[in-house]
Structure 1
Amino acid sequence: MSTLPEAPLQGATLKAGRHDPSGRIRLLVSDIDGTLVTRTKELTPAVLEMAPRLRDASVQLALVSSRPARGMDMFLQPLGIDTPRAGLNGGEILAPDGSLVAAMALDPQVARIVVETLDEHGVDSWLFAEGSWLIRRPDGAYVAQEHRAVQLEPVVVDSFASHYHKVGKIMGSSADYHLLERVEKNVQTLLGDRVNAHRSQSYYLDVTHPDANKGRAALHLADLLGVPPAEMACIGDMSNDIAMLQVAGVAIAMGNATDEVAAAAHFVTDSNEQDGWATAMERFILPRSPGYGRPGEAA
């Protein structure tokens, strides 16, 4: 069996300032948008080829996303995924058969304050509650894009007033990225430990239950699969991914990640437009897998 690479190869940088990366990985927890898929929400041939190689090397693949859990169904069959998955940044976890394992909802009063704050700043808001996607403006700037991405039909309502119970996530969307960055900080400061507010894209702000974050979600997935955190790798690109990078045995940031995310990772790979996900698997996950060097897996 070959030893681990002494240094990262071109296009992937080892980051300092945190514990050393683990030498053994049996689970990869992956973000989707900006990480696993391209800007057009597609799985590249390299990603599709890498998924069975992970399985052959005894590395399980689990997905965690700001999407509702049902909004990642289209990736399960192409990637051969039969593991639990976490949606709404950990606000809901589904078993492999799609049944609900766990869910967290915002306090109704807190949910109302969040929506009012977004309204005050001119940020379009959506609610994700009990499997439904609720919107007030079907002509909102990012509604059609989100519909294509998650393949869920939005439910149009005149008001959110009667829908604040069991809200798993509030999403704010705006084409003014700098405004959304300011609103992110404003919401977190205003509500403190009553919410978890992070952008999942430059144009999306996710607000969830304070305990609903990708770090807790990744640990929950690892526990369900019987894998210790030290043998779990995580990969992502946005600030909502930092919590899971911080608990991973191997933490990988995409090349398109923000500087803050890159600083939380052991390695930085190429961007999602340059097959950075597949590159990271080849360089940092497969060499640490239980099956590395077996017949059929290059040593």
Structure 2
Amino acid sequence: MSLQYDLIALDVDGTLLTDDHVLTASIRETVQEAATRGAQIVLCTGRGPSGALPVMAELGLGGTIITHNGAVTINSEDRSVVHQFEMASDHLLSFVNYCREQAIHFDLNTAFEMMVESMTPEVEAMYGKFEAKPSIQDFRMGLPSGLVKFTVFGSKDKMDVVQAEWAGWPKHLHSIRSGDYFIDVHHAEANKGRALQQLAEIRGIDRSRILAIGNYYNDITMLQFAGMGIAMGNSPEDVKLAANAVARSNAEDGVARALREYAWS
């Protein structure tokens, strides 16, 4: 059987992992088989490197990881930065002030560091699920440099309100819903599709030879860039409409089934 794609881009949460953040044996073995057949496996996630590297290690693979929803691309072996989109700190102040006024939890991220102003047991438990370990810092004297992602966390209803309000804000930065309980803010040009395009150009891979699998709104640009974009069965309808095909859900080993059906024949 011949491999149909040279590069396979995989979202992590809601796609590669179950809702309990488990990598099943079936998915691990199938992704490893794709790599053995010659495919370059690239994780393409909203997580930072600290949360993404353990998943790559659990897969038993190395290589490139697109993190922070496309804002930072790194090499997993030496943790070097291939490319990153930095935000101007001044552009973020209105988002920070909004969250303080509305008592919404937020974190600030450089390529490898996550920072928060405060921590509650609920927030700490949430970070634990994503293998994230933020440091508590005081931002009242100014925001740090090198920022690539700003994330807010709250109830789905609260995030619905925030998403609607921020939709009309100036476009210096781009906000994207990365989960029911999360909204991420990035440089206006940073997204998974753009990062995947950059990586493909570096490696000389035509987009027709790329397969991508994802499940949420922050995956749409990636699914649209890839020659074969596959939405998970647990995806919102708009994500499914942006894809070439729909797989089974992340509770049904959807990634493994999709790779067997589309990646080789």
Q: TM-score scaled by structure 1?
A: 0.82
Tell me if 1:111 matches 2:92.
yes
| Kept in 1: contact 2:247–2:257 (CA 8 A) | yes
- Greater mean alpha carbon deviation, residues 123-132 or residues 240-249: 123-132
In the alignment, structure 1 residue 170 sits paired with structure 2 residue 150: yes
Secondary structure of the 2:114 match is strand
The 8 Å contact of residues 48 and 111 in structure 2, kept in 1 or not, is answered as no
Structure 2: which amino acid aligns with 1:119? R
Following the alignment from structure 2 to structure 1, what is the Cα–Cα distance between the partners of residues 141 and 19? 34
Partner residue, 1:5: none
**1:246 aligns to 2:215 (yes or no):** no
Structure showing greater radius of gyration is 1
**Superposition deviation, residue 160 in structure 1:** 5.2
Does the 8 A contact of 2:223 with 2:243 survive in 1? yes
In the TM superposition, what are the counterparts of 1:144-223 in structure 2 within 5 Å?
Answer: 144-150=125-131, 152-159=132-139, 161-175=141-155, 177-192=156-171, 194-223=172-201
Partner residue of 2:107 out of 126, 142, 149: 126
- TM-aligned CA distance change 1:162 to 1:255, over 3 Å: same
Distance in 2 between the 1:226 and 1:140 partners?
46
Residue 28 (structure 1) aligned with residue 8 (structure 2): yes
Say if 2:163 and 2:183, in contact at 8 Å, map to a contact too: yes
Comparing 105-114 with 243-252, which one deviates more in the overlay? 105-114
Q: Which residue number in structure 2 is paired with residue 230 of structure 1?
A: 208
Q: TM-score, normalised by structure 2?
A: 0.92
| 2:22 aligned counterpart, secondary structure | coil
Q: What is the rounded CA distance, in whole Å, between the counterparts of 1:49 and 1:183 in structure 2?
A: 40
Work out whether residues 111 and 164 of structure 1, in 8 Å CA contact, stay in contact via their aligned partners in 2: no
State the SS of the aligned residue for 1:190. Answer: coil
**Structure 1: unaligned runs, 5 residues or longer:** 3-22, 288-299
* 1:101 equivalent in alignment to 2:61: no
CA offsets 1:10-68 (integer angstroms, 9 cap, x no match): xxxxxxxxxxxxx9421111110000001121110111110221023222210111111
Corresponding residue to 2:244 among 266, 277, 280: 266
Of all paired residues, the percent bearing the same amino acid is: 27
2:52 is aligned, of 72, 78, 100, to 72
CA RMSD of aligned residues (A): 1.9
Deviation at 1:164, TM superposition (A): 4.2
Task: Sort the Cα spacing of 1:243 and 1:130 in 2 relative to 1 into closer, same or farther, 3 A.
Answer: closer
Question: Alpha-carbon deviations, 1:229-287, whole Å to 9, x = none?
Answer: 11101111110100111111000001111111011001111111111111111112223
1:282 has 2:263 as partner: no
Are the equivalent residues in 2 in contact too, given 1:196–1:213 (CA < 8 A)?
A: no
Aligned residues: 264
Q: Is the Cα–Cα contact under 8 Å of residues 109 and 164 in structure 1 kept in the other structure? A: no
CA contact (8 A) 1:124 1:140 kept: no
Distance 1:141 1:224 in 2: 41
CA offsets per residue over residues 78-123 of structure 1, 9 Å max, x none? 3232221111111111124211111111111111111122334432
Deviations 1:111-169 (A, max 9, x none): 1111122334432111112421111221063332223422x321112335422422110
Return the alpha-carbon distance in structure 2 between the equivalents of residues 68 and 160 of structure 1. 24
Higher relative contact order (CA 8 A, sep 6+): 1
Q: Using the alignment, how far apart are the partners of 1:140 and 1:186 within structure 2? A: 28
Task: Give me the whole-angstrom Cα distance separating, in 2, the residues matched to 1:58 and 1:159.
Answer: 46
